[in-house]
Amino acid sequence: MAASLRLTLLEHKARTGRRGDDLVFGRTAGAPFTPTNVRKQAHGAWAAAAVGAFLRGKPLAVELEPIGLHECRHTYVSLMHAAGRSLEEIGDYVGHSSAYMTDHYRHLLEGQRTAAADALDALLAASAAQL
C-alpha cells in the first residue's frame, strides 16, 4: 500500500471512529458499502471540493468528473504497471486469474508513448554508433 494512501486511510478511520475489525468504507462499521452508496458519497465529496474552493476564492482550475470503483481499478492497474510491477503481480493484488485480464485493465499514461519512442531512438543511436 502506498504510504500516502495509508495515511489517508488512517485519517479516515480516526475521523469516522472505526476501529479493529470495523469496515473502513462500510455504510456503517458493520454493514458493507454498496456501489450506489459509494457513488452518492463521491458526488458529495466532489461537490464539497468545488464549493470549498469557490468559497476560498480559488475556483477549481478544472471541473472534476466523478469516477466509480471500476475506473479506480483501471487507474490502479495502470499506475502499478507504470511503477514497474509485473502484470502477474498486479493481477494477484486485484484478484485477476490471468495476466491477460490484468493487461485489459492497463492503459498507457500520458508521456509513456514519447518515453518509449525516446528509448528506442537511444537504442538505435547506440547501435549505429557501434557500426
Tens-digit pLDDT profile for residues 73-87: 899 999 999 999 999
Lowest pLDDT segment from 7-11, 37-41, 108-112: 37-41
Cα–Cα distances (Å) from 30 to 14, 23, 51, in that order, read: 16, 6, 31
Grid-cell match 476560498, residue found: 56
Is 46 in the same domain as 11? no
| Contact between residue 24 and residue 18 where contact means Cβ atoms under 8 Å apart | yes
Is 104 in the same domain as 128? yes
Is 11 in the same domain as 49? no
Q: Which domain holds residue 39?
A: 34-66
Is 26 in the same domain as 53? no
pTM of the model: 0.63
Is 14 in the same domain as 42? no
Report how far residue 27's alpha carbon sits from residue 29's, in angstroms, rounded to the nearest whole number. 7
pLDDT beyond 80 at 55: no
Q: Of 9, 43, 66, which residue is a domain's last?
A: 66
Is 126 in the same domain as 76? yes
- The number of distinct structural domains making up the chain is 3
Is 39 in the same domain as 75? no
Is 77 in the same domain as 123? yes
Is 121 in the same domain as 85? yes
Question: What one-character-per-residue DSSP string does 68-111 give?
Answer: -HHHHHHHHHHHHHHTT--HHHHHHHHT-S-HHHHHHH--PPTT
Average pLDDT over residues 96-125: 90
Is 62 in the same domain as 106? no
